[in-house]
Amino acid sequence: MGRDVNNADTDNYDYSYLGTNPFFPIKKECNDAIEKFNIEYKECQLEVDDKTADEICKIVDSDKCQKYFNIKVVDIPECKDSIEDAVISIDNLRKLAYSELKAECIKDENNKYCPLNSKETQKIITPEMSEEQQKQAYEKAKEETCKSQKCIDGYLSFFNELIDITKEYADALSKYGNISKEEVDDMKNTFKKDKRTSELIDYLKSDQCKSKIIYSSSAETVIKNMNLYLGLSLITVLYFLF
């Protein structure tokens, strides 16, 4: 594991990795190892804007990129002697990027991308639309998402990951001492303070959302849908009989 910050000799640290005045310095050999590591796995560091969801998920799910995302900087030998909180924070940033990529690959029970997938929302929400039209399209995407238990669970899991990673990152920053307690608390509450995100999380957890579920692998929902189907079939039969 990395060195404790209070005993670190910062004269031998390379401050370039996280910027000219970073929160966390890391040693040059660690910085060089990370750069070499990033070059080796360059294709796994995606710019999603110019790729389709299929292209993104094919790369993310590849054996090479799965290996890339599961390697921890804290375990790289050249980083063993760097400040522990620094390498943990770099790993947190990498986990954050991975979580966001995985979110692009959430699919429903029919193996279709969930409506809140960024590539899917780009199809229905365009810059030419008015603010009200964009809002209506977004609300529609939320409702469509609620038809799938897998989509609901996938996005709630994604948000939980983001919250946990953000808290870990904030804790590491607070240990190093370059950030105030107020700033740490503010960072930890990022998603609570973001109205749109917090409202989406609450909605996905709500009974209103759950009431819209059509697709689910749970026995309860299968039985519910079967009963609905049988009920409609019976009504149809009675209609033609009488």
The DSSP result for 156-181, as a single string, is HHHHHHHHHHHHHHHHHHHHHTSS-H
Which residues does 176 contact at the CB level (< 8 Å), separation at least 6? 5, 23, 24, 83, 85, 86
Residues 23 and 4 in one domain: yes
Residues 88 and 122 in one domain: no
pTM here? 0.76
- pLDDT of 31 reads 86
Residues 222 and 141 in one domain: yes
Residues 99 and 134 in one domain: no
Which residues does 162 contact at the CB level (< 8 Å), separation at least 6? 96, 99, 191
Separation between Cα atoms, residue 197 and residue 93, nearest integer Å: 20
- pLDDT of 224 reads 46
Residues 215 and 127 in one domain: yes
Residues 131 and 230 in one domain: yes
- The number of residues making up the chain comes to 242
**Mean per-residue pLDDT for 38-66?**
91
Residues 158 and 139 in one domain: yes
Do the beta carbons of residue 151 and residue 108 sit within 8 Å? yes
- pLDDT of 227 reads 44
Residues 117 and 236 in one domain: yes
Identify the domain boundary among 55, 84, 105.
105
- pLDDT of 176 reads 62
Q: How many domains does the chain have?
A: 2
Identify the domain boundary among 105, 129, 157.
105
* List of E strands, the chain: 13-14, 26-27
Of residues 242 and 61, more confidently modeled: 61
Of residues 155 and 169, more confidently modeled: 155
Residues 93 and 119 in one domain: no
For residue 14, the tally of other CB atoms under 10 A from its CB is: 15
CA dihedral 164, 165, 170, 171 (to 10 degrees): 70
Q: Which domain holds residue 222?
A: 113-242
Among 28-37, 139-148, 170-179, 226-235, top mean pLDDT goes to: 139-148
What mean pLDDT is reported for the chain?
80
Please tell me the least confidently modeled range out of 22-26, 41-45, 169-173: 22-26
pLDDT tens track for 64-111: 999 999 999 889 999 888 878 788 888 888 898 999 999 999 999 999
- pLDDT of 110 reads 94
In the predicted model, is pLDDT for residue 117 greater than 70? yes
